[in-house]
């Protein structure tokens, strides 16, 4: 899918993304702290079923199980040298899960685990090389577009975007921001609107926010960013606040309240909406119903 093709789809109406894949797999037995990418090889039926659930809930775009499938992340997970294999498996499983439903496969790319100074010693060429390897693997496997998510350092987000653009596929780019006294910033101090504008200027086809915050907080981000982003805006909040329980982490939002907030984000100017940690197919189905009622 080219940038022009994605733009035409968005012009025809907002796109519904999927929800939190990692939290969905944890609910199915993935051990906390273990990389979900292992299940592309060990539990392919669970990964396929996750895509099926989101497609049936009404997602227009479903992400591959590759958030942690860059070479450095795979090495840390004990899967060094298997970037092409694991990314290709994830694309195949996502598409198999659609059961004939027409969905866009988004090749998911998360932070690499490499850090620029002063937190680390990574260089721009190094970041560019490792993301290029993953992006090309996803493109060869047949991903429709690429989705960079949960970036907290604008420098890494820009390097990832540069790498992804070499594939010729449309690229979504989201960063993760927290609410501070002076506004919305990443943990590295990157401010909301200037960061999104920098990504748009560098060629991202849609920019936005995901993870870290609840839907009401992200609604405030959308209202601030939508008039200034310059390209279609993405919004994927968490399912409320995380709560530790004896059975694991749960989130305190319910699908109906979440869907109401997402409808408000669409009204405020977001064009691609979905969920992040804690959101499952029930949340996405509720958002789809809210979108149908607009």
Looking at the 3D structure of the chain, how many domains does it have? 1
Backbone angles phi, psi at 137, to 5 degrees: -65, -45
Write the CATH number for 110: 3.20.20.330
Q: What is the pLDDT of residue 18?
A: 97
Q: Is 247's pLDDT higher than 90?
A: no
Q: What is the pLDDT of residue 167?
A: 98
For residue 294, the model assigns a pLDDT of 65
- Cα four-point dihedral sign 233, 196, 216, 36: positive
Q: Which domain covers residue 189, as residue numbers?
A: 3-292
Six-digit token pair at 264?
């408000």
pLDDT for 141 beyond 80: yes
Phi, psi of 114 (to 5 degrees): -90, 145
Mean pLDDT of the chain: 95
Q: pLDDT tens, 33-86?
A: 899 999 999 999 999 999 999 999 999 999 999 999 999 999 999 999 999 999
For residue 241, the Cα-to-chain-centroid distance in whole angstroms is: 19
pLDDT class of 30 with cuts at 50, 70, 90: very high
Instruction: Look at residue 3 in the predicted model and tell me its pLDDT.
Output: 97
Confidence band, pLDDT 50/70/90 cuts, at residue 240: confident
Q: Whole-angstrom Cα distance, residue 181 to residue 183? A: 6
Question: What would the two tokens of residue 108 be?
Answer: 């998911």
> Is the pTM for the entire model greater than 0.85?
yes
Which H helix or E strand runs over 30?
A: none
| Beta strand 248-251 pairing with 242-245 | antiparallel
Dump pLDDT digits (tens) for 202-211.
999 999 999 9
- Per-residue pLDDT at 162 exceeds 80: yes
What percentage of the chain carries pLDDT values higher than 90?
90
Between 244 and 29, residue with greater pLDDT: 29
| Mean per-residue pLDDT, 123-151 | 98
Residue range 102-126: mean pLDDT, rounded? 96
- Mean pLDDT within 242-262: 84
Are 251 and 29 spatial neighbours (Cβ–Cβ below 8 Å)?
no
Structural contact between residues 39 and 254, judged by C-beta atoms closer than 8 angstroms: no
Tokens representing 84 are 């092409």
Is the CB of residue 25 less than 8 Å from the CB of residue 164? Answer: no
* Count of residues in the chain: 294
Residue 287 DSSP symbol: H
Where does the pLDDT of residue 245 fall: very low under 50, low under 70, confident under 90, or very high at 90 and above? confident
Q: Mean pLDDT throughout 275-289?
A: 96
Query: Can you tell me whether residue 179 is helix, strand or coil?
Result: strand
User: Half-sphere exposure of 251 toward its Cβ, with a 13 Å CA cutoff?
Assistant: 26
Residues 6+ apart with CB under 8 A from 205: 3, 6, 7, 145, 170, 171, 172, 231, 232
With a cut of 90, say whether residue 174 has pLDDT above it. Answer: yes
pLDDT of residue 88: 98
Asked whether residue 151 carries a pLDDT value surpassing 90, the answer given is yes
6 phi, psi to nearest 5 deg: -65, -45
């Amino acid at each position: 899918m080219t940038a022009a093709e994605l733009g035409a789809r968005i012009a025809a109406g907002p796109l519904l993304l999927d929800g939190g894949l990692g939290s969905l797999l944890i609910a199915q037995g993935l051990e906390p702290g273990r990389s979900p990418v292992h299940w592309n090889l060990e539990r392919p039926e669970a990964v396929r079923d996750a895509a099926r659930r989101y497609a049936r809930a009404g997602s227009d775009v479903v992400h591959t199980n590759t958030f942690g499938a860059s070479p450095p992340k795979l090495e840390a997970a004990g899967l060094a040298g298997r970037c092409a294999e694991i990314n290709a498996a994830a694309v195949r499983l996502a598409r198999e899960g659609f059961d004939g439903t027409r969905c866009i496969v988004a090749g998911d790319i998360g932070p690499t685990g490499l850090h620029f100074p002063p937190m680390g010693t990574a260089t721009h060429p190094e970041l560019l090389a490792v993301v290029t390897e993953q992006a090309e693997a996803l493109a060869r496997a047949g991903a429709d577009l690429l989705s960079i998510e949960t970036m907290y350092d604008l420098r890494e987000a820009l390097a990832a975007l540069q790498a992804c653009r070499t594939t010729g596929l449309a690229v979504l780019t989201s960063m993760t921001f927290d609410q501070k006294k002076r506004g919305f910033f990443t943990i590295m101090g990157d401010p909301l609107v200037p960061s999104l504008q920098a990504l748009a200027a560098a060629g991202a086809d849609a920019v936005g926010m995901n993870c870290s915050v609840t839907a009401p907080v992200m609604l405030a981000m959308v209202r601030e960013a939508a008039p200034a982003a310059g390209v279609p805006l993405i919004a994927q909040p968490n399912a409320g606040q995380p709560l530790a329980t004896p059975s694991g982490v749960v989130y305190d939002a319910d699908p109906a309240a979440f869907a109401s907030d997402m409808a408000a984000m669409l009204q405020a100017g977001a064009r691609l909406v979905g969920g992040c940690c804690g959101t499952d197919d029930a949340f996405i189905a509720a958002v789809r119903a809210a979108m149908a009622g607009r």
